[in-house]
Amino acid sequence: MLFRNYRIIFRIGLVIAIFCFLMFALATVEYLAINRINEKLEQLVNQTYVKVELAQDMRFLSRHKAVLIRYILLLEDQAEKEFELQRIRDEEKEYDEALSRLTALVKNQEEKAILDSIVEGQKETEQLWDKVIQYGLNGQAAEGTKLLLVEVRSRQWGWLESLNTMVEQQKKYARANYAFTLATSSKIHWLLAGIDVLAIGIGLFLAIIISRSITGPLTDFTRKVEKIAQDDLSVQIDCDTRDEIGLLGKHINHMARLRKKNQEELDDYRLHLEELVEQKTEELNRQREKFASILIHDLKGPVIPLLGFTKRLIEGKTKTPEDTLTYLKSIEKSSQQFLVTIEKTSRNLREKSAWDMFNPEQFDICHLAWTIAASFIPRIEDRQLSLQFNNLEKSSWEKLEPILFRGDPGQLKTLIENLLGNAVKYAVKMIKLELWKADNMLQLCVSDDGPGIAQKYHEKIFEQYFQVPGSRKGTGIGLYSVQRVTENHKGRISVDSLPDKGTSFRVVLPDS
């Protein structure tokens, strides 16, 4: 079984072996040629170029030293002469370093002879330069100038000529190495091109032969696979051979059978999914109808008396002014009930989705709290309550200082409204609103002297829809929304309350 597919394996293996041999031969030629080119490039760049650069630096330093020596002869101030002398000593060190590097790179006899001439010229010239420098330091400019013109000049030119000869010699080597590298590179290009053409020719020839032995069965496979792709799952491929192509045919037949089975399962799943969608749709419709019926009921209650009393007033059925006033009060009461129902429904829908967006900005939160507190004044006065804002009565609220805070104004408005609304609902006589900022933390405290909350409910009151047993009618959304706003602002909220001792909510928010 291991060698059952030897026919195709042998044919493909033969092609691979020939290609591998050609690639190996090509890689060997490339390796030898590149090594030869690298040697010349190494010689050209790391030796010839460096030697040219060193010789040019030495030539510049020798000329510049002659200029500095003339400065010493011409200058009058002794300090300036000492400064130029120090520059000469520094450049002598640079020259000696360059000479040492050049000496290490020189290999052949011709270069060594030129280098010996350079060293000899340097030695003779510097001996005379030392005398000239001494004349300059002693104030004998005339004698130093005479020595420069008579003896130093001829030796200096011989020294510089040796340096010029070294530069030209290295340039000649560079040109020779460059020409050799170009010639070698050209030969390699032609050789590699020939091998590439040969490899391509052999590869094409073998590929055509092998492909003709394979493409015949595959063409039939392709035609039948297209039918399978068009959902004709009854098609079966003939696979008489025992090689890889025959094995492929068997796999395609197996795939077609699996696809037919999967198609049947998918049809079952689709029917089941349609049933689930219908069930969910019916459930949503029932919930929507229930919500609509409740809303209609809540709205219908205050609307009926509105219409009834309005009709009596229009028809003039009131007998006395007292009757008219009674009808108007009833209309007002029904209108207020109608408005409360609308606001309650709107708030429930809004508070369930308002937490998905957080848009912080910097604003005066003291002014926001003042505005919200002022909106509760009619209800507070109706219940004969007292509201203090930072220990100030309403008449003194204009003394409140602005408090700048960065947060979401809309969400913080909901937070303050809910806390203050609960306090107004349960307070007996007094409500306190405290707002201050310290150590980059905003603190808000709303307190009332109401019936309080038992300790066991202190955590549950922040759960959605939870209401303390015996509490006044509400939605169970207010304190849940307060906690969500606090979490969005990375803050914390706590409650301090006991039965018959009042309640105090404290919110601490960081200023972001």
Q: Are residues 85 and 174 in the same domain?
A: yes
User: Which one, of 150, 424, 143, lies nearest residue 433 by Cα?
Assistant: 424
Q: Kindly write down the DSSP assignment for every residue of 305-358, as one continuous string.
A: HHHHHHHHHHTT---SHHHHHHHHHHHHHHHHHHHHHHHHHHHHHHHTTGGG--
Let me know if residue 229 belongs to a domain: no
In single-letter form, the type of residue at position 287 comes to: Q
Let me know if residue 346 belongs to a domain: no
Please name the residue that has the structure tokens 């303050």.
416
Strand 492-497: give its sheet, edge to edge.
Answer: 386-389, 430-438, 441-448, 503-510, 492-497
Looking at every residue in the chain, the average pLDDT score rounds to 77
Let me know if residue 216 belongs to a domain: no
Instruction: State residue 309's pLDDT score.
Output: 60
Please name the residue that has the structure tokens 């009461």.
333
Three-state DSSP class for residue 83: helix
67: β partners: none
Tell me the pLDDT band of 3, cut-offs 50, 70 and 90: very low
Mean pLDDT calculated for residue range 434-448? 94
pLDDT tens-digit profile of 221-267? Answer: 677 677 666 666 666 766 666 666 667 677 777 777 777 777 777 77
DSSP code for 392: B
In single-letter form, the type of residue at position 216 comes to: G
**At which of 272, 303, 338 does a domain end?**
338
In 3-state terms, the chain is what percent helix, strand and coil (to 5)?
75, 10, 20
Q: Are residues 274 and 312 in the same domain?
A: yes
CB 98 within 8 A of CB 62: no
**At which of 206, 224, 257 does a domain end?**
206
Q: What CATH number did the domain enclosing 187 receive?
A: 1.20.120.30
Tell me the pLDDT band of 449, cut-offs 50, 70 and 90: very high
Which range marks the domain in which residue 307 is found? Answer: 237-338
Mean pLDDT calculated for residue range 281-306? 57
Tell me the pLDDT band of 293, cut-offs 50, 70 and 90: very low
Q: Are residues 191 and 286 in the same domain?
A: no
pLDDT tens-digit profile of 198-216? Answer: 777 776 777 677 666 666 6
- Asked if pLDDT for residue 437 goes beyond 90, the answer is yes
Mean pLDDT calculated for residue range 50-64? 83
CA angle 53, 57, 58 (to 5 degrees): 120
CB 26 within 8 A of CB 261: no
Tell me the pLDDT band of 197, cut-offs 50, 70 and 90: confident
Top pLDDT among 296 and 177 is at: 177
Three-state DSSP class for residue 5: coil
Q: Are residues 397 and 500 in the same domain?
A: yes
**Distance separating alpha carbons of residues 208 and 185, to the nearest angstrom:** 34
pLDDT tens-digit profile of 136-160? Answer: 888 887 887 888 777 877 777 888 7
**At which of 206, 224, 259 does a domain end?**
206
Tell me the pLDDT band of 419, cut-offs 50, 70 and 90: very high
- Per the structure, how many domains does the chain have? 3
Tell me the pLDDT band of 340, cut-offs 50, 70 and 90: low
Q: Are residues 103 and 246 in the same domain?
A: no
- Asked if pLDDT for residue 398 goes beyond 70, the answer is yes
Q: What CATH number did the domain enclosing 402 receive?
A: 3.30.565.10
CB 213 within 8 A of CB 196: no
Let me know if residue 286 belongs to a domain: yes
Instruction: State residue 39's pLDDT score.
Output: 66
Let me know if residue 379 belongs to a domain: yes
Tell me the pLDDT band of 464, cut-offs 50, 70 and 90: confident
pLDDT tens-digit profile of 476-511? Answer: 778 888 999 999 999 999 999 988 889 999 999 998
10 exposed, middle or buried (CB, 10 Å; 0-12, 13-18, 19+)?
Answer: exposed
Share of residues in the chain with pLDDT > 90 (%): 16
Q: Are residues 360 and 333 in the same domain?
A: no
Q: Are residues 35 and 183 in the same domain?
A: yes
**Distance separating alpha carbons of residues 159 and 128, to the nearest angstrom:** 13
Instruction: State residue 345's pLDDT score.
Output: 61
**Distance separating alpha carbons of residues 105 and 22, to the nearest angstrom:** 41
Radius of gyration for the alpha carbons in the chain, expressed in angstroms and rounded: 52
Q: Are residues 484 and 427 in the same domain?
A: yes
Highest mean pLDDT among 6-10, 269-273, 345-349, 445-449: 445-449
CB 484 within 8 A of CB 410: no
**Distance separating alpha carbons of residues 60 and 163, to the nearest angstrom:** 10
Let me know if residue 225 belongs to a domain: no
Three-state DSSP class for residue 196: helix
Q: Kindly write down the DSSP assignment for every residue of 257-322, as one continuous string.
A: HHHHHHHHHHHHHHHHHHHHHHHHHHHHHHHHHHHHHHHHHHHHHHHHHHHHHHHHHHTT---SHH
Q: Are residues 69 and 145 in the same domain?
A: yes
Instruction: State residue 387's pLDDT score.
Output: 93
Tell me the pLDDT band of 368, cut-offs 50, 70 and 90: very high
Let me know if residue 224 belongs to a domain: no
Mean pLDDT calculated for residue range 444-454? 93
Share of residues in the chain with pLDDT > 70 (%): 72
Top pLDDT among 2 and 220 is at: 220
Q: Are residues 245 and 185 in the same domain?
A: no
Q: Are residues 253 and 287 in the same domain?
A: yes
Instruction: State residue 297's pLDDT score.
Output: 41
**Distance separating alpha carbons of residues 161 and 172, to the nearest angstrom:** 16
Task: Give the H/E segment covering residue 229.
Answer: helix 153-229
Three-state DSSP class for residue 76: coil
Instruction: State residue 447's pLDDT score.
Output: 95
CB 448 within 8 A of CB 501: no
User: Which one, of 28, 61, 51, lies nearest residue 110 by Cα?
Assistant: 51
CB 55 within 8 A of CB 111: no
Let me know if residue 466 belongs to a domain: yes
Q: Are residues 245 and 328 in the same domain?
A: yes
pLDDT tens-digit profile of 313-339? Answer: 776 766 677 767 766 766 676 676 567
User: Which one, of 233, 242, 236, lies nearest residue 220 by Cα?
Assistant: 236
